[in-house]
Chain A
Amino acid sequence: MNSMTIIKISAMWCPACIIMNKFWNEIEEEFPYIEFISYDLDMDEEEVKKYNVGNTLPVIIMIKNNKETNRLIGEKTKAEIMRFIKEIDT
Chain B
Amino acid sequence: MIYLDYSATTPVNPEVLESFSKAALNYPGNPNSLHKLGVKANELIAAATLQIANILELKSNEIIYTSGASESNNLAIKGICYKYKNRGKHIITTRFEHSSIYGPISYLQKDQFEVDFLETDEFGLVDLEKLEQLIRDDTILVSIASVNSEIGIRQPIEEIAKIVKKHPKCFFHVDMTQSIGKEKISLREVDLASFSAHKFFGLKGIGVLVKKEKIALEPIIHGGKSTTVFRSGTPALPLIVSLSKALRLATDEIEKKYDYVKKINSYLKENLSRYEKVRINSNEYCIPHILNISIIGCKPETIQHTLEEYDIYISTQTACSSKSNFSKAVLALTNNEEIASSSVRISLSHLTTIKECEEFLKAFSSCYERLTKLR
Contacts and interface: CB of A to CB of B under 8 A. Distances in A.
Given A13-B99, A13-B320, A18 B105 contact: yes
B102 A14 contact: yes
Contacts, number: 48
Q: Which 7 A-B pairs have the closest CB atoms?
A: A13-B99, A12-B106, A12-B103, A13-B102, A21-B109, A15-B95, A55-B326
Nearest to B104: A12
Interface string A14-57: 11111101100000000000000000011000000000000111
Given A14-B328, A22-B115, A41 B323 contact: yes
B45 to A, nearest CB: 33
B144 to A, nearest CB: 13
A21 B332 CA distance: 19
13 contacts: A11-B323, A12-B103, A12-B106, A14-B324, A15-B95, A15-B97, A15-B332, A16-B328, A18-B102, A18-B105, A18-B117, A55-B326, A56-B324
Nearest to A17: B106
> Which bucket holds chain A's interface residue count?
10 to 19
Contacts of B106: 12-13, 17-18, 21
Interface in B78-112: 95, 97, 99, 102-103, 105-107, 109
Contacts of B102: 12-15, 18
Chain A residues touching B, majority SS: loop
B42 to A, nearest CB: 37
B117 A19 contact: yes
A21 B111 CA distance: 12
- The residue among A11, A15, A19, A57 with the most chain B CB atoms within 10 A of its own CB is A15
Interface of A: 11-19, 21-22, 41-42, 55-57
B119 interface: no
A18 B102 CA distance: 8
Given A22-B115, A41-B323, A15 B328 contact: yes
Nearest to A19: B117
Interface in B103-155: 103, 105-107, 109, 114-115, 117
A55 B328 contact: no
Given A13-B106, A18-B117, 14 more contacts: A12-B99, A12-B102, A13-B320, A13-B321, A14-B324, A15-B117, A16-B328, A17-B106, A18-B106, A18-B109, A21-B109, A22-B109, A42-B323, A55-B325
A16 B97 CA distance: 12
